[in-house]
Structure formats: C-alpha cells, structure tokens
Amino acid sequence: MAIEIERKYEVKLHLWEKVRPQECLHIRQAYLSSDNATTVRIRTSNRNAYITIKGKTIHLSRPEFEYPIPYDDALQLMQLSTLSIVEKNRYEYMYKGKKWEVDEFLGSNKGLIVAEIELEQEGELFSIPEFIGEEQTADPRFRNSNLAKTPYETWQNRS
C-alpha cells in the first residue's frame, strides 16, 4: 500500500517571489468524492491525467493510490464533479535535499499559496526555507478537496 506523509505550510509571498522558479506545471483537479474517510480526485497537468484515491488521514499519514488515465477520459470524469474545479500553478523548489511543492492557486482560490513537503516518515527532520510561513497541516481548510467545496475567496478568516 502506498502511504502519503505530507505537511502543509502557508507561504510568505514577499520572500517566495525572490526565489520562485521560472517553470511551473498548470494543474486542474476535480473531486468525484470527498469525505472524512475517502477522497477520489481526477487531475490533469499538461496532457497527462491521473485518478487518485486517498484514504483517511491518521496523524500525518494516509493511504494514497494514483494511476494514469487517458486525458480525454479525465476531462469527461471532471464533468461529473458537483464541486468547483481547483486550478493552480505548481512550482518545485529543492531545499537541502528535499523537494517542496509550492501551489499558487487560481480562480476562486486566487491569493492562496501553499507549500507542501512529502516525508518518508512522520518524525522525519527537515530544514525549512525562509519563505515558509505558518504550518497548516492540521487545518482542513487547506486541503485541496475542501478548497473545491469552500474556496479561499469565501473564507471569513483567511488565517
């Protein structure tokens, strides 16, 4: 079984702008199902497409299964979603041997920038780049599946 161990952080925009890489990947995702136990996501990036099934998060870990699917199938599956499409530009930033993924959200989530790091184990130590702000791993608002339900632009208290 594949396990995802991930931590999420807000990004300090003024510091991120100084180190932001030129290249990014444009991502669109739709959620076919999302509750506390299971999430089913369809994602496209460039001409690639994936279906991802994620289980319930316990501490920082959750089961994750991701499979490539035909791009045209992904577009049709995305139309089945009753939630908003989550759209973002993803940047990869290497820092002291670890890859950080920084997502700059678009559309109804514009203005939200979140950095994620995937770990090998929950207690793993890692260095934090200067542009990383407050940790938001435990805040469910920052989950992409929840951004499809309650976009950033609707948050009353944005921090």
Catalytic residues: 31
Backbone angles phi, psi at 127, to 5 degrees: -90, 145
Q: Could you tell me the CA-to-CA distances from 35 to 21, 57, 83, 105, 140 in Å, in that order?
A: 34, 11, 13, 22, 11
Residue for token pair 């041997």: 97
3, containing H or E segment: strand 3-11
Contacts of 89 (CB under 8 A, 6+ apart): 24, 25, 26, 27, 103, 104, 106
